[in-house]
Amino acid sequence: MASSRATGRSAPPQLTDAETVAGHKRAAARAAAELVSDGMRLGLGTGSTVAYLLPALAERRLQRVRCVATSPRTAQLARELGLAIEELGALGELDLAIDGADQIDPAGWLIKGGGAAHTREKIVAAAARRFVVIASAEKAVAQLSPPVPLELVRFGWQSTLAALGDARLRAAEPAGDLMLSPDGGLIADYFGAVGEPRALAARLSAVPGVVEHGLFPPEMVSLILIAGDGGVQRRSGGKPDGSALAPDAR
């Protein structure tokens, strides 16, 4: 094959790893945006992949879509794009929630909470008839590994960390202050082995002072969209897929 030098044509620029990952995130987000229809009550997650979802939704110019955001940052970005943001209590059951993940294992277990909003994200996912996870290919792993994000009550946090074992509070970058959840809880990370996720989830939940952990079980997830070089892969989750359910007339 003739080289680019021989043909007089310049070779296409090589994408950096960061640009490749960004393209994958954008592809997963656009695929998820196509699942949203007029009149839906929609949960919006938090994080870098959701940041690509919001403009994809705005471009579709859907009518009467009412959204709840899992973080102030998502709410701000959504409002700037013209999306309607309301409180979860005003919306009740959601038709669909879309969010990213930090890790996804072959069984459909997730680790979430890199953005410190996993408590709200879990509440919103549980409130949705259908929960769709979007991710770039590197988030799919053979086995979950630490850290597992935690939200802790401030009172007695030292005792909570001691009971957890291998865990420590997370510092916010670049200031170095302690990271807080959107609701003011302390954010920590558990660094012990994950092992069997269900057993660890039960153990973390049983420690007094733990508000919520970042392990999301497969039965909470309806669909996983993972984008890579070969396109967007669809994986079924353990939650019955409510895609055939149209939003209620409103």
* SS3 per-residue string spanning 58-95: HHHCCCCCEEEECCHHHHHHHHHCCCEECCHHHHCCEC
Q: Annotated catalytic, 121?
A: yes
What are the strands, taking DSSP E only, across the chain?
A: 41-44, 66-69, 84-85, 96-99, 103-104, 110-111, 131-136, 148-152, 167-169, 186-190, 210-213, 215-216, 223-228, 231-236
Within 10 angstroms of residue 8's Cβ, the number of other Cβ atoms is 7
Three-state DSSP class for residue 127: helix
DSSP 8-state secondary structure symbol assigned to residue 180: B
Three-state DSSP class for residue 242: coil
Residues 6+ apart with CB under 8 A from 207: 160, 163, 164
- Of 86, 121, 151, 173, the active-site residue reads 121
Structure-token pair, residue 215: 């392990």
Measured CA to CA, the distance from residue 91 to residue 97 in angstroms comes to 12
Nearest to 134 by CA among 224, 35, 242, 23: 224
At residue 212, what are phi and psi to the nearest 5 degrees?
A: -165, 155
Structure-token pair, residue 230: 């070969």
Active centre residues (catalytic):
121
